[in-house]
Chains A and B, each alone.
Chain A
Amino acid sequence: MAKRAASTPLNMIGAVLATCLVAASALTVTYELTRERIIEQERAAERAALDAVLPGTGSIESAGELVAPATEAAGSVTLQGVYRAYDAAGALSGWGVRVAPRGYSGPVSMVVGLDRDGSVLGVSIITMSETPGLGTKIVTQEGWIEQFVGWQGADIDASAREFDAIAGATRSSAAVRNGVTAAGRVYAEVLSAEEGGAQ
């Protein structure tokens, strides 16, 4: 067998330290090289999700100035963005709210589309890391996520009283519900007041 470095403290510290240094620099380079592309891909995914939950809209714009009050309204649920949707004629037609409620294993990042009256038009999950086969049913179970359509943002707690959780994915289901209720609260406290002013 080839001669091996002895397990002295100095050798051990040196080996681990050198490995970590080389690994860290290699990863920094990869991260820098891929960062732009990843941000671009994430933007495209977000755009696709917004298009899916806000059918028939002409253009969608980020409403950056509303993020601060909306974050407060969302409470314990992380808010990731607020979007205005305009119809083909250029009039405000609805809202997109991107939230990331806490799932079973990490945040479930999703977009909730609301029309001008605060009625939920659709929910689309962008990224999540739920248990494969169980928690992932929140995405794969057909028809499940449509149950949120029609929930009223102005009185979201009344809508949230009845809700079907998926067996085996209770906490993941609850995360999606929490996201929708947070979006409803954002509508009730921030967006509904904004609507009159925007026009």
Chain B
Amino acid sequence: MREWIAVFKRGISIDNPLTVLMIGLCATLAVSTKLEGALFMGLAVIFVLGMSSIIVSSIRSLVPEQVRIPVFIVIIASFVTVVDLTMKAFLPDIYTFLGVWIPLIVVNCMILGRAEAFSYHQPVRLAIADGLGMGLGFSIVIVVLAAIRELFGSGEIVFLGARLIALPEWYRPPGVLLLFPGAFLVFGFISALAKWYNTRTSGRVVQTDAHCTIEEGVR
């Protein structure tokens, strides 16, 4: 159980896909202009990452190495299509906002990367921890990024049609925050903050662990 928690926490902190591994950034920067869109993007990624980790890990002994990539892609693409169709049917407004980025989760290197680097080599229970941890790590960062960009870029946060927070009238939102340069700037600060936090809380662990992330769990 301690091992499970360690793997789970790693996805959020020292192996965070966005702030540390820096993978899957392009969708992150693109959809983080609105909190509600970012939240559902995060949920979609948690679902796809969690499910594909479970499946890849549970069939790992049946899949020969030479065809592993096509098999991973089919599995990931199926879960993404499930999300795509479900969102289209039940959350049309959010689907319109996320648009092409939902189908593009298929080619998000984060998900294929975890299948290849972790789930294909690890037992199911650890693969679940990794999938959920990585997905949650992704979601936290994208939601924080979107909240900052929406609040300071448009002066208010609107969630599912309701106004959550609004800044006072005298605040003139700089539009650049909603554009791509703003995404990079805010993301840079978040990443720096995460780095500072990681080195402070588990600095030594980062150094020793980073080299043996995969082998760590095998034993």
- Report if A91 contacts B (CB, 8 A): no
Select the stretch in B80-88, B126-134, B136-144 that faces chain A: B80-88
Q: Which of A1, A12, A20, A37 contacts B121 (CB 8 A)?
A: A1
Chain B contacts for A37, CB-based, 8 A = 89-90
Closest to A18 in B: B62
B66-108 residues with Cβ-Cβ distance < 8 A to A are: 66-67, 70-71, 74-75, 77-78, 81-82, 85-86, 88-90, 92, 96, 99-101
Min C-beta distance of A138 to chain B, whole Å: 13
Select the stretch in A24-32, A147-155, A166-174 that faces chain B: A24-32
Contact (Cβ within 8 A) B65 A4: yes
User: How many residues from A make CB contacts under 8 Å with B?
Assistant: 29
Contact surface of B with A, Cβ cutoff 8 Å: 30, 59-67, 70-71, 74-75, 77-78, 81-82, 85-86, 88-90, 92, 96, 99-101, 121, 180, 218
**18 additional contacts, CB 8 Å, given A3-B61, A23-B74, A127-B96?**
A4-B61, A7-B65, A7-B67, A15-B63, A15-B64, A16-B67, A16-B70, A19-B59, A19-B75, A23-B75, A23-B77, A34-B86, A41-B92, A44-B92, A129-B99, A129-B100, A132-B101, A133-B180
7 interchain residue pairs of minimum CB distance: A37-B89, A34-B89, A23-B78, A7-B64, A7-B66, A34-B85, A12-B67
Contact surface of A with B, Cβ cutoff 8 Å: 1-8, 11-12, 15-16, 19-20, 23, 26-27, 30-31, 34, 37-38, 41, 44-45, 127, 129, 132-133
